């Protein structure tokens, strides 16, 4: 799968080294030490995080997203899952990767888009060439993550607050949508996924920038103090 959205700031070795050094100084790739929120974990929900190399996305039950974004009923088929990713609008949607777009995304805050993809089978099966981790979190936390994801979609007040479609996506049956937030060196696709996961109460740093930093915090071998949360 295409991993361009985050390579826009990390592909060149000099840019990657500079970002990692600054991340070290401010702790943006550190595992969060904050305790997860106290919550009722009698009912839990699951979702997946997929690493495509430099880029990560979240795979969620389509039916859950339909409750907050009803436009998906007509945009996508009756599949079980949808993958959602966030990134730089220019580089993410470009038919050809251009150095000027990558440099612009690296040095200046840029507009963003969301990329939504049909996942017709289990995430591990559909993304068989990518690293996939499955998480379970309390239902209340799962709902907060859905709120975070739905809240990232820009809604047009001139069209009854409908989401704004931007065109065909990168792979499979997919589509781009206008998003809220600016993409820059310290607010990448991985930062967005980390914030979505953190919304559930799972202990992960919201300042995460790199895919290594994110997936390291979602290591299935990690021992979690709060048994309401699990990752495999």
- Output the pTM of the full model: 0.83
Mean pLDDT of all residues in 73-85: 96
Q: What is the reported pLDDT for 41? A: 82
**DSSP class per residue in 186-215:** TB-HHHHHHHHHHTTT----TT--SHHHHH
Q: What is the reported pLDDT for 26? A: 35
Q: What is the pLDDT of residues 120-170, one digit of tens each?
A: 999 999 999 999 999 999 999 999 999 999 999 999 999 999 999 999 999
Mean pLDDT of all residues in 206-212: 95
Cα distance between residue 70 and residue 218, in whole Å? 30
Cα distance between residue 44 and residue 34, in whole Å? 21
Domain residue limits, the chain: 4-231
Query: Which residues 6+ apart lie within 8 Å of 64 measured at CB?
Result: 142, 146
The edge-to-edge listing of strands for the beta sheet with 44-51 is: 165-168, 174-178, 112-119, 81-88, 56-61, 44-51, 131-138, 230-231
């Amino acid at each position: 799968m295409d991993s361009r959205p985050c390579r826009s700031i990390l592909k060149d070795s000099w840019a990657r080294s500079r970002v990692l050094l600054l991340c070290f100084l401010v702790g943006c790739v550190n595992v969060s030490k904050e305790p997860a929120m106290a919550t009722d974990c009698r009912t839990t929900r699951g979702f997946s995080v997929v690493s495509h190399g430099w880029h990560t996305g979240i795979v969620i039950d389509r039916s859950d997203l339909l409750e907050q974004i009803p436009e998906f009923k007509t945009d996508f088929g009756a599949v079980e899952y949808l993958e959602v990713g966030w990134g730089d609008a220019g580089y993410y949607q470009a038919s050809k990767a251009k150095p000027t777009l990558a440099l612009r995304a690296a040095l200046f805050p840029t507009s963003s888009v969301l990329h939504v993809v049909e996942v017709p089978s289990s995430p591990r099966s559909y993304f068989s060439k990518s690293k996939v981790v499955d998480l379970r979190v309390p239902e209340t936390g799962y709902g907060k993550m859905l709120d975070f994801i739905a809240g990232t979609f820009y809604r047009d007040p001139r069209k009854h607050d409908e989401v704004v479609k931007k065109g065909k996506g990168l792979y499979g049956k997919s589509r781009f949508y206008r998003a809220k937030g600016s993409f820059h060196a310290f607010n990448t696709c991985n930062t967005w996924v980390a914030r979505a996961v953190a919304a559930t109460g799972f202990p992960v740093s919201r300042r995460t920038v790199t895919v290594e930093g994110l997936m390291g915090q979602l290591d299935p071998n990690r021992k979690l103090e709060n048994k309401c949360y699990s990752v495999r």
